[in-house]
Amino acid sequence: MKHFYISGIVIFLSLAIVSVIFAQQGPKPEGKVEYYKTPRPMALPFSDAARVGNILFLSGEIGVDYTTMKVVPGGIKAETKQTLDNIKATVEKYGSSMDNIFKCTVMIADMKEWPQMNEVYVTYFKKDRLPARSAIGANGLALGAKVEIECLATVDK
């Protein structure tokens, strides 16, 4: 009988400790989705980014100048630079940085232009922090763009 009494006390105290630990941690916001959208001259049917927990999911970005809503002239290198400048502005606006990007998907209209796109792309990341990446040859991109890049990044805050 004494053994059951001690076991009961141990179980009760264990449950009490676990309850206190969970109560101190508070509710977990992992499932909450936050949507971020910047007003633009032309209404776009998507958010710039969405955040779940500490992950920022960026929409695909093209080399558009948002003041004119036109793709920048100058070919694949100019478009890639503008695309990555747009990505940089977005991640910084929503609490992240280029160093926190861990995955990119590149869609390119002409795979023959891959080397030129890549020349610009690698300048935006530290050599020891290149994001994981996938590539897709595309038959057509928004506004006739030559390249579109979407990214995932962590947010420190």
Task: Look at 20-24, 53-57, 96-100, 136-140 and tell me which has the smallest mean pLDDT.
Answer: 20-24
How far is the C-alpha of 137 from the C-alpha of 147, rounded, in Å? Answer: 9
80: nearest Cα among 29, 7, 148: 148
- The answer for residues whose C-beta is within 8 angstroms of residue 153's C-beta and 6 or more apart is 55, 56, 58, 91, 96, 97, 100, 101, 102
CA 98 to chain centroid, in Å, comes to 10
Condensed to tens digits (0 to 9), the pLDDT of residues 76-103 reads 999 999 999 999 999 999 999 999 999 9
